[in-house]
Chains A and B, each alone.
Chain A
Amino acid sequence: MTADAVVIRPGTAAEVAAALKEASDAGQSLIIRGAGSKDGYGRTPSRIDVILDMQRLNHIVAHEHGDMTATIEAGASLRHVNVALALHGQTLPLDPPFADRATIGGLLATNDSGPLRHRYGTPRDLVIGVQLATTDGTLAKAGGQVVKNVAGYDLSKLIAGSFGSIAAIVSATFKLAPRPAASKTLRLHVRDIEALSAAIRTVMASQLEPVAFEVRAESVPDVVQAFKPAVLVRFASLPEVVNAQVEHAQAGLKACTTSMEVLDGEAERSLWKRHASELWDSPGAIVRASWLPANIGSALGELEQSATAGHAAVSLAGRAAVGAGHIRIEGDTSVQAALVRQLRASRIFGNIVIVRGSPELKAGVDAWGSQGDRQPLFDSLKRALDPNGTLNAGRGPL
């Protein structure tokens, strides 16, 4: 699909803008690429003439540690950025899938995040300014370098979730967080979905302040009571604060768990590493899904039922209190497609987007699904900013 594509590696903002304009003027199709960790997202691409590889634009333009902000070029990898920020005890608190490779531009364009979202939000919550290039060759900025700023439209929000379909991100400025001194994770094992719901309700109603709060569930087809749910609660702060929070959590959660373990150090690190990659390491389609946090019980119940009926192995991992995460669906294409359709028809789940799936699956069900009454705005936004349809090769969402 990309064999014939020309690869352009811009080294300056002006080169990004020029490449977009040239492609647009020539009626070419161009995709913007960071590390390619999300190449499979969205619809199956149509013709790709140009790949704009952003990896040469990989500098930290400024780390204003006294102001806790950093301006970073789009092609810089999150991992390298965080190594540099750590020199001043700070971090860009994002832990998306493929965090080892993901670039800043890709993260913002897809608004991707991971367990730390519980405390810090998604890239759109952390971004405070952006420099964009549009297909008419314009370089424009919005927002600024200060954390508090309401001057003009915040286009750094608009670009979050646009998947490279309306403009290219050249650089972005983020507010940062201090690196916590200590961290511990409580892993809860629960008997069943009801106990899982109770554990989640308990944490949400408490005054505990975890940095991450995850729910996991995996099913095996054709097994009754298939789901093996678990909850991870991570605390990060001063050592004595972490210990106090863990103790509070243990006391409050005793009634709804079968066992609890406290992990720290290397064991904790490897737990989170596993948690981040587990869903993606096995084959199967992966969808993004949302639910109301208090509906986790019925959400898993529904998922279990669909999985059993469709003979599909299903796994879910997500943010318990946000009500968002990923579901992996194993099985053949027709099984996957049926489950995606069921999830879209569900009254519990919403915003089902295929982020990994075969072209056959995507041919059967749209990767993005219906956008409801937002669609006309998306259409006119695309016409306004990318009138020749240059960007993102039909992968969507615009």
Chain B
Amino acid sequence: MDRAFLDELRRIVGDAGVLEDALELLTYECDALPHLRETPAAVALPSTAAQVQAIVRLCARAGIPFVARGHGTGLSGGALPVAGGLVIALARLNRVLDIDIQNQRVTVEPGVTNLDITKAVAPYGFYYAPDPSSQQVCSIGGNVAENSGGAHCLKYGFTVHHVLGVEAVLPSGELVHLGGSLADTPGPDLLGLIVGSEGTLAVVTRVTVRILRRPEAVQTLLAAFDSIDAGGAVVSDIIGAGIIPAAVEMMDSLAIRAAEAAVHPNFPDADTVLIVELDGPAAEVRALFDRVEGMCKAHGATTIEVAQTDEQRMRIWRGRKAAFAAMGRVSPNYYVQDGVVPRTRLPEVLNRIRALEARSGLRIGNVFHAGDGNLHPLICYDERVAGQADAAVEVAAEILSYCIEAGGSLTGEHGIGADKSRYMPTMFTDADLGLMQRVRAVFDPGGLCNPGKVFPTPRLCGEVPGPYRQHPAEAAGLAERM
């Protein structure tokens, strides 16, 4: 990246919109997967879509790779910079542009946080359904890139089911409108393709989402069990009875203890807790909730707490949503994966994880979306102990292999990013990945838009798999992780 490029960048976004000071760049070295780090050559902070377009055009002309970044809460290194490249930070595109209650849709810029959409429409009795645990801070642009889920996607689906349209800047600098306020844009669903493409196809500059009416009733219970199998059996009974809860979450004893130490949700000291939330018409919630409670009892729940107030319900969710951050209370470091297994294979895979835990000597906390089989094994390690970080990576890789063997997926909601791209060949054939690459080239023939993510790349010679070490050539700025 030369002077002329930076001068041009300043002409587009002003002096205050360009960062190139080493100290300022620190913030942008990583997202919420902090062990993958890279220093970008510069960061641009546009405040309009037109500026984004001008920046991308400039990159296209100069052949500079760029990485779009929202609020940096991603867990797969999707916003990891490219050495020598530009980070386009979209935090200043943070306006709510249109709230249309009658038509149940909201249009925002990508830097608006997930929860701010709900806050904007809550006075009217509406909310935005996808609720990743980071919803207070994560950006909707990032949600679109990752197709974010959350605890409630079992019933309500993912970001892709709630985004009606986007405006996006293609890697060529052209502006496109995919989907829109009106339903049924003709032709292949390019919107559905862009959502979840991890910032590799375009930079989204405007998002229209649908909002939902708050359900008439919500009921939440927390049940404790002596074993994961008992909790799992309840989940099977629920789904087998044709009940689709708003959320079904499970936590094991390590995760429970961590959450308890961090935010004191008053969880029972148990092997497993199950959180079940039902919502919908009051009559339906009433009828089904009784049945769910009965199933918990039938499988030997040691305690069942039914949230009687909103405050109590929020407390339960606080315990669940704080589980990741809370691991800091029980371990100096942790590494989280979010592989998926078919729900019916959960007990088998969890037992394999427990056996692995015993074998590896690393503690593994389990917090997971039981309704849809989305695991979140939290692998505890201490980076100061030689070899532990590498061991954690190996354990994570082994857990992902269990998921693939069970017919599942490498990731349910965190994305492949830079973190798991090397495992993609375990889930997809060369032909599968080849077709995806052909589609990618339609959007980004120059390979400048968030390169090095999603797809496996040949490793640098001598590089050890794992996120903890920088290749010496990289450290010296001689090579890039492309």
Contacts and interface: CB of A to CB of B under 8 A. Distances in A.
A150 B146 contact: yes
A10 interface: no
A154 interface: yes
B435 A240 contact: no
B411 A134 contact: no
A157 B192 contact: yes
B474 to A, nearest CB: 25
A154 B192 contact: yes
B123 to A, nearest CB: 14
B343 A292 contact: no
A290 B184 contact: yes
- What size tier do the contact residues of chain A reach? 35 or more
Interface stretch (A200-208, A303-311, A334-342): A200-208
A66 B239 CA distance: 7
24 contacts: A66-B342, A67-B373, A89-B242, A90-B242, A138-B434, A140-B431, A140-B432, A144-B408, A144-B409, A146-B412, A149-B340, A150-B411, A150-B413, A153-B197, A153-B439, A154-B195, A160-B189, A162-B188, A178-B244, A290-B184, A324-B183, A377-B176, A378-B188, A385-B438
A260 B434 CA distance: 56
Contacts, number: 254
Interface in A18-74: 64, 66-69
Contact of A155 (B102, B243, B412, B435): B435
A277 to B, nearest CB: 21
B341 interface: yes
A179 interface: yes
Nearest to B344: A66
Contacts of B188: 158-162, 166, 378, 381, 397-398
Given A89-B242, A124-B189, A148-B340, A324 B184 contact: yes
B192 A160 contact: yes
Given A152-B454, A153-B193, A209-B280, A397 B186 contact: yes
A3 interface: no
Q: Which 6 interchain pairs have the tightest Cβ spacing? A: A157-B192, A178-B242, A294-B102, A149-B409, A66-B344, A140-B435
A351 B433 contact: no
Contact of B186 (A90, A150, A369): A369
Interface in A62-97: 64, 66-69, 89-90
Given A323-B182, A377-B190, A240 B283 contact: yes
A220 to B, nearest CB: 28
Interface residues of B, number: 89
B153 interface: yes
B240 interface: yes
Interface in A116-153: 121, 124-125, 132, 134, 138-142, 144-153
Given A209-B281, A350-B180, 18 more contacts: A145-B342, A146-B409, A148-B153, A149-B409, A151-B424, A152-B424, A153-B454, A240-B287, A241-B287, A245-B281, A292-B181, A294-B102, A350-B182, A353-B186, A374-B177, A377-B190, A381-B439, A397-B187
Contacts of B176: 373-374, 377
Contact of A141 (B184, B415, B428, B439): B428
Interface string B425-441: 00111011111101111
A69 B158 CA distance: 17
A282 interface: no
B36 to A, nearest CB: 18
B405 interface: no
B352 to A, nearest CB: 17
B196 A150 contact: yes
Contacts of A69: 342
A121 B161 contact: yes
B189 A111 contact: yes
A331 interface: no
Contacts of A178: 242-244
A288 B157 CA distance: 26
Contacts of A160: 188-189, 192
Interface in A311-326: 321-324
Contacts of A205: 213
A11 B340 CA distance: 32
Nearest to A200: B102
A357 to B, nearest CB: 15
A124 B432 CA distance: 19
Contacts of A377: 170, 176, 190, 442-443
Interface string B231-252: 0000010011011100000000
A153 B146 CA distance: 11
Contacts of B287: 238, 240-241
B186 A125 contact: no
Contacts of B104: 204, 293, 321
A265 interface: no
A137 to B, nearest CB: 10
B248 to A, nearest CB: 12
A251 interface: no
A162 B187 contact: yes
A161 B186 contact: yes
A147 B412 CA distance: 9
Interface string A363-398: 000001101111011101100110000000000011
